Amino acid sequence: MRLILNSPLDMHLHLRDGDMLQHVAKFSAKDFTGALIMPNLVPPITDIPSLLAYKERILDVMGCEQFTPYMSLFFKSDYKADFLERSRDYITAIKLYPSGVTTNSDGGVEQFDVKKLAPIFEAMSELNIPLCVHGETNGFVMDREKEFGAVYECLAVAFPKLTIIMEHITTRSSAELLKRYENLYATITLHHLLITLDDVAGGLLNPHLFCKPIAKRYEDRDALLELALNANKKVMFGSDSAPHPVSKKECCGCAAGIFSAPIALSALAELFEKHDKLTNLQAFVSDNARDIYKLTPIEKTVILEKKEWIVPATFGDVVPMFAKQTLKWQALSQK
């Protein structure tokens, strides 16, 4: 049995840089036609020369694979309208991190003063630049995303022409919020469709499932499943595949991030098939993103075959999600 996907897109991807980029890029390039590349490098990508140089480095490692890196800038509170206007043609989105909420977010927004930031959001609205947001406060870990809901509401109301992407949503409250405002959209990861906090810390601690936002309750996961499996037009796939070397995961002070790029499409097919929703996978992994971002991706046919395979224990020094486990679908190499 085969499943054909037309131009799959991963609208939230960490490719890193240097050796790690060399090592992980091929997995996304094989299974996807493009991805929104996160800018949280050290230092973050905050200017166009750095962004273009990073894009070149990504394209270099892609070799002959057809793959478009859709680039994002790291939101800074001091961006000016003329800078944004000059940047428009080079970027697909701007990613906003509240300071300190996740990996390499220290240069993010310190104080979320919507009034002060209004000129930036107005310029982005005018220029049709989507705003991607890591929506967490610095509060209690299980409540961070819910608490950030007030900021999303405020933004959605104050800037009705701004396309706001709630990145990697994890809660029922975000799923509900999304439906309330026309200009709110969301990415959903594979891992948040599959795991809950029980999988991370309910038994023996599993550092390889530790990520931000942390996986939540069963009812939260069900709300995300309802959106994704029905390919709700306001949600799209964003893996948030975030590789860290094993030494940074299996230690005290474990880094947040799940490396899912090599198994993302296979596991999504298995999940959608299990729920008898395979016909909605195309919309979730491609069509919805095209509509939301108004993209015309390179045509690339990705074939998934119903054929068991065992996920390797490691890829280099990175442990993937589903390491050593059997998956039911295999993505074939494409031309």
Q: Using CB under 6 A, which of 28, 46, 68, 102 touches ligand DOR?
A: 102
Interface mask toward Zn ion for 165-204; x: CB under 5 A: ----------------------------------------
Q: Using CB under 6 A, which of 28, 92, 103, 196 touches ligand DOR?
A: 103
Q: How far is CA 34 from CA 11, 235, 280, in A?
A: 8, 17, 19
Give whichever of 37 and 242 is closer to ligand DOR, judged by the CB atom: 242
Contacts (CB under 5 A) with Zn ion, residues 241-260: none
For the CB of residue 139, give the shortest distance to ligand DOR in the complex, in Å: 16
Q: What six digits make up the tokens of 258?
A: 């799940």
211 sits near ligand DOR (criterion: CB under 6 A): yes
Per-residue DSSP letter, 14: -
For the CB of residue 279, give the shortest distance to ligand DOR in the complex, in Å: 31
First to last CA, the chain: 20
Q: Is 257 left (phi over 0), alpha (psi -120 to 50) or beta?
A: left
Q: How far is CA 208 from CA 180, 245, 259, 291, 314, in A?
A: 34, 11, 8, 33, 11
Interface mask toward Zn ion for 225-244; x: CB under 5 A: ---------------x----
Q: Is 60 a catalytic residue?
A: no
d(Cα 170, Cα 227) in Å, to the nearest integer?
12
Considering CB under 6 A, how many residues would be counted as binding ligand DOR? 10
Contacts (CB under 6 A) with ligand DOR, residues 231-290: 242, 256-257
Using CB distances below 5 to 8 A depending on partner kind, what does residue 211 bind out of Zn ion, ligand DOR, none?
ligand DOR
Can you point out the beta strands (E) in the chain?
2-6, 9-13, 34-37, 68-74, 93-96, 131-133, 164-166, 184-188, 235-237, 301-310, 326-331
Using CB distances below 5 to 8 A depending on partner kind, what does residue 40 bind out of Zn ion, ligand DOR, none?
ligand DOR
Per CB under 6 A, residues contacting ligand DOR are: 14, 40, 102-103, 134, 211-212, 242, 256-257
- Catalogue the active-site residues: 240
Chain positions contacting Zn ion, by CB under 5 A: 240
